[in-house]
């Protein structure tokens, strides 16, 4: 099984760079609005028009606290703009009940808008320091409400990677549970070339990257050479 490389552009110039560099999934976000910061719907729509046929576009809709209606409306907008994956972060969620209601509303909204679009539920490897729900609870919740993909990211972008907060055993458990529930799974969170051997051994379906392919930090432009280098190391 090959691991798909998801690259997260913040503008249309970066969409071109990511595509030309060999990204498998183009993930539209706005890094200055958070780990899963939402970009504008017209950027999502334009990105969808730009990418080659068969290259899916993902759209982050935000790092959410318990606002199910707001999340559902944001998800509708991303799906209507053409996103193939709609990704929500459970950032300030303290119980499985809150998680189910929030994520269930997003699934309902997305499937009403585009039955083929996939919902990505993201939890955070640094869940203890941001006081939110553990990623290990996510596969069961996502399966219960009909989401399609589960993901681990870092909530606070300070350069510390997912592997500093969740060890191999925890991540393997997360991935195994996702497979048991017939969900795809993704790993992200300040990951880079040095993490590729461990990522390959864990074998998630998707590896999510931004900072490692930027010229100088996650708010600087994406480099085509860095995308190509990472893609080559992943193969």
Residue 140 has pLDDT above 90, yes or no: yes
DSSP string, 118-146: EEEEEEETTHHHHT---GGGHHHHHHHHT
Distances in whole angstroms, Cα of residue 12 to Cα of each of 75, 102, 219, 226? 21, 30, 14, 18
pLDDT at 13: 98
> φ, ψ for residue 194 (rounded to 5)?
-65, -20
Average pLDDT over residues 217-222: 92
Q: Say whether 29 is catalytic.
A: yes
pLDDT at 177: 98
Instruction: Give Cβ neighbours of residue 57 (< 8 Å, ≥ 6 apart).
Output: 25, 26, 27, 28, 44, 47, 48, 51, 82, 83, 84, 85
Residue 1 has pLDDT above 90, yes or no: no
The whole domain housing 48 covers 4-234
Distances in whole angstroms, Cα of residue 146 to Cα of each of 109, 120, 138, 150? 12, 10, 12, 11
Task: Determine which one of 4, 87, 116, 137 is catalytic.
Answer: 87
- Predicted confidence (pLDDT) per residue in 169-197, tens digit: 999 999 999 999 999 999 999 999 999 99
pLDDT at 125: 98
Measured distance CA(31)–CA(188) in Å, rounded:
14
pLDDT at 104: 98
Q: Say whether 111 is catalytic.
A: no
E strand segments, the chain = 4-7, 25-28, 57-65, 85-92, 118-124, 149-153, 184-187, 206-209
- pLDDT bucket at 79, cuts 50 / 70 / 90: very high
Task: Determine which one of 29, 30, 116, 157 is catalytic.
Answer: 29
Q: For residue 146, what are the β-bridge partners?
A: none
Q: Is the pTM of this model over 0.95?
A: yes
DSSP string, 174-205: HHHHHHHTT-EEEE-SS--GGGHHHHHHH--S
Mean pLDDT of the chain: 97
DSSP 222: B
Other CB atoms within a 10 A radius of the CB of residue 14 amount to 24
Tokens 């809150």 appear where?
A: 98
How many domains does the structure of the chain reveal?
1
CATH of the domain at 76: 3.20.20.70
């Amino acid at each position: 099984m090959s691991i798909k490389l998801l690259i997260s552009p913040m503008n249309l110039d970066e969409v071109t760079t990511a595509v030309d560099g060999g990204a498998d999934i183009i993930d539209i976000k706005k890094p200055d609005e958070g780990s899963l910061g939402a970009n504008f719907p017209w950027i999502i729509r334009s990105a969808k028009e730009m990418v080659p046929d068969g290259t899916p576009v993902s759209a982050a809709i935000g790092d959410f606290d318990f606002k199910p209606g707001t999340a559902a409306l944001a998800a509708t907008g991303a799906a209507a703009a053409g996103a193939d994956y709609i990704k929500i972060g459970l950032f300030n969620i303290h119980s499985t009940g809150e998680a189910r209601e929030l994520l269930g509303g997003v699934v309902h909204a997305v499937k009403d808008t585009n039955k083929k679009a996939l919902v990505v539920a993201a939890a955070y490897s640094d869940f203890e320091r941001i006081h939110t729900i553990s990623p290990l609870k996510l596969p069961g919740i996502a399966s219960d409400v009909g989401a399609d993909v589960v993901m681990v990211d870092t909530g606070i972008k300070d350069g510390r990677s997912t592997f500093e907060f969740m060890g191999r055993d925890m991540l393997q458990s997360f991935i195994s549970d996702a497979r048991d529930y017939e969900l795809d799974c993704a790993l992200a969170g300040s990951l880079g070339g040095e993490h590729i051997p461990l990522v390959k051994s864990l074998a998630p379906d998707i590896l999510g990257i931004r900072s490692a392919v930027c010229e100088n930090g996650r708010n600087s432009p994406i480099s085509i050479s860095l995308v190509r280098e990472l893609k080559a190391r992943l193969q």
